[in-house]
Amino acid sequence: MGGEKRMSVVKRYNATWNPFNKWTTSDISIAIIAAAAFAGLNVAFGPISYGPYQFRVANIICLPMTVLFGYPGLIGIALGCGTTNFALGGGLLDAFSGYVMTVVEGVILVELVKRYGRTLIPIQVGTVILTVSTSLWVGWMLAFLYNLPMWFMIFTIGVTIVIQQNIIGYATVKLLLTNEWVIANVPKTLYELKQEE
């Protein structure tokens, strides 16, 4: 029985933490839910999600979806970001760059969590990388589109991302990981599997 459970955990690990392995129905469902939730929040909070001064409420779910569900959560968030950036933001350039940046930053975060666990240091290192790269790119794009001072746009985007990801997003992850049902059902990371050996 213990061996069967171990194989189930390893199979789930492979499907969640390696995007090139076969995706299960659960993985696809997680990606769809993440995409729909991200897009829905951006549409619902459209006036504050786009424009020169923005606070994307949808960004709050990025960290929990990626940290808890790995690549399915990441791909869903990236698809939701690309779709709503195209529909509500700056068109094709905004959609493409938003998708690519989300994937690149997300891969770094997923790999850190996979190897070092769902603890403060790997999550915050990943979000610091995300904060810096997003602040620079989005700040530059908004400064260019709206003819505003670049340093100011980089600063304001950086502050909002710190609030959304590093503070609220991280607190949400930690809160969810205190729930027994969540602990029992989220896939284990490579770090957690090694700790059990």
Which pLDDT does position 193 carry in this prediction?
82
Query: Is residue 8 pLDDT above 90, yes or no?
Result: no
Mean per-residue pLDDT, 130-147:
91
Where residue 13 falls among pLDDT bands split at 50, 70, 90?
low
Put simply, whether the predicted model's pTM sits higher than 0.85 gets the answer: yes
CB-CB contact of 78 with 104 (8 Å): no
Where residue 1 falls among pLDDT bands split at 50, 70, 90?
very low
More confident residue, 194 or 38: 38
CB atoms inside a 10 Å sphere around CB 56: 21
Q: What is the mean pLDDT of the chain?
A: 89
Query: Is residue 191 pLDDT above 50, yes or no?
Result: yes
Domains of the chain, CATH where assigned: 2-196 (1.10.1760.20)
Contacts of 189 (CB under 8 A, 6+ apart): 13, 17, 113, 114, 115, 117, 118
Residue 188 DSSP code: P
Which pLDDT does position 194 carry in this prediction?
83
Nearest-CA neighbor of 17 among 91, 52, 68?
Answer: 68
Round to whole Å and give the CA distance between 25 and 50. 33
| Amino acid at the residue 79 | L
Where residue 7 falls among pLDDT bands split at 50, 70, 90?
very low
Helices (H), the chain: 2-17, 25-44, 46-49, 62-88, 91-116, 120-146, 150-161, 170-176, 180-185, 190-196
| Amino acid at the residue 43 | V
